[in-house]
Amino acid sequence: MRALLLSILLLLGLPVQATEIIGGLSQNRVSLTMNFAGSEILIFGAIRRDAPRFDNEPPFDIVVTIEGPPQPVVVWRKARRLGIWVNVESVQMASVPSFYAVATTGPLEQILDPVEDLLHRISPLHAIRADQAIGDVLDHDAFTRSLIRLRTEAEQYQMLERWVYLDRETLFRVTARLPANLTEGAYTVRMYLVRSGQVVNVYRNAIFVRKEGLERWLHTLAYDQPLIYGLLALVIALVAGWGASALFRYGRG
């Protein structure tokens, strides 16, 4: 009946009722300070329909991604030579997300068609874009997978399957944790509405990460006045060394 209704609307040239996803963030700014140990961001939203839901409709799924500022990366492969582990091969990638998280309502391979994954570059393997890799190696994918593994161990890449809670196919929420080793910049948040493996609609937002306080001053000084920054670092090292020496002599006396 549902399919018949849609066919009639198309034949009559009438607009088909649309469904879209809308969302928000508990905060869209994160300050990197001296005691910053990570931050939790609540991502929430709703599925908005222009028509009532039919009982025989396929269920919806939600996929949320957080992508950090891109950066160039060199991935090395080590091998044992004369009893010593040395770098032997490398692959250069011009644009790799500094942070990447994927949260879903279910296993990604079950709720998302592989073609849709490739088209929207949702999974980490597609988000990195192995085709950009430059290097005299045969298997670039192996280096890409190694990079994903290393960054997953450092919590820079996160795969959070079944972390998104969807209530009655209307309201959803997920809590994402940003680690302490964040890169300054804009983090793109994408919320995908998925049905029958296909991406129906996408909503975008952003989280802005910025150094504040002493960290911001030192960062600006290092880039704008590198000579002064170097002299200041030298003075601090000398004072710290003299202080440690004086404290040691005092303790022995």
Q: Where are the alpha helices (DSSP H) in the chain?
A: 2-12, 108-111, 114-120, 124-128, 140-153, 214-224, 226-252
Q: Are 136 and 43 part of one and the same domain? A: yes
Strand partners, 44: 24, 173
Distance CA 38, CA 101 (A): 14
Q: Residues 206, 190: contact at Cβ < 8 Å?
A: no
- With the C-alpha atoms ordered 149, 151, 154, 158, is the resulting torsion angle positive or negative? negative
Of the two residues 148 and 8, the one the predictor is more confident about is 148
Tokens of 198: 């296909």
- Using DSSP, state whether 6 is helix, strand or coil: helix
Of the two residues 192 and 221, the one the predictor is more confident about is 192
Q: Are 99 and 163 part of one and the same domain? A: yes
Q: Are 196 and 217 part of one and the same domain? A: no
Residue 1: the pLDDT is: 44
Report in angstroms the alpha-carbon separations of 83 from 76, 80, 124, 215, 230.
18, 6, 35, 42, 39
Tokens 């329909």 belong to which residue?
49
Judge whether 3 lies within some domain: no
Neighbouring residues of 204: CB distance < 8 A, sequence distance ≥ 6: 188, 189, 190, 191
Judge whether 6 lies within some domain: no
- Residue 165 CB coordination number (10 Å): 13
Q: Are 128 and 59 part of one and the same domain? A: yes
Q: How many domains does the chain have?
A: 2
Of the two residues 223 and 168, the one the predictor is more confident about is 168
pTM: 0.73
Q: Are 70 and 34 part of one and the same domain? A: yes
pLDDT at 3 over 50: no
Neighbouring residues of 83: CB distance < 8 A, sequence distance ≥ 6: none
Residue 157: the pLDDT is: 93
Q: Are 200 and 223 part of one and the same domain? A: no
Judge whether 161 lies within some domain: yes
Q: What is the DSSP letter of 182?
A: P
Residue 223: the pLDDT is: 57
pLDDT at 220 over 80: no
Q: Are 171 and 252 part of one and the same domain? A: no
Q: Are 59 and 136 part of one and the same domain? A: yes
Q: Residues 32, 212: contact at Cβ < 8 Å?
A: yes
% of the chain at pLDDT higher than 90: 34
Judge whether 238 lies within some domain: yes
Distance CA 161, CA 167 (A): 16
CATH number of 20's domain: 2.60.40.3880
Q: Residues 46, 75: contact at Cβ < 8 Å?
A: no
Q: Are 165 and 242 part of one and the same domain? A: no
15-68 pLDDT, tens per residue?
444 688 999 999 888 887 777 777 889 999 999 877 666 667 788 999 999 999
Judge whether 5 lies within some domain: no
Q: Residues 43, 189: contact at Cβ < 8 Å?
A: yes
Q: Are 218 and 189 part of one and the same domain? A: no
Judge whether 4 lies within some domain: no
The residue type at 217: W
Residue 75: the pLDDT is: 80
pLDDT at 148 over 90: no
Q: Are 199 and 220 part of one and the same domain? A: no
Of the two residues 182 and 12, the one the predictor is more confident about is 182
Judge whether 7 lies within some domain: no
Residue 222: the pLDDT is: 55
Residue 158: the pLDDT is: 92
193-212 pLDDT, tens per residue?
999 999 999 999 999 988 76
Judge whether 10 lies within some domain: no
Which domain, by its residues, includes 232?
213-253
Neighbouring residues of 3: CB distance < 8 A, sequence distance ≥ 6: none
% of the chain at pLDDT higher than 70: 68
Q: Are 189 and 94 part of one and the same domain? A: yes
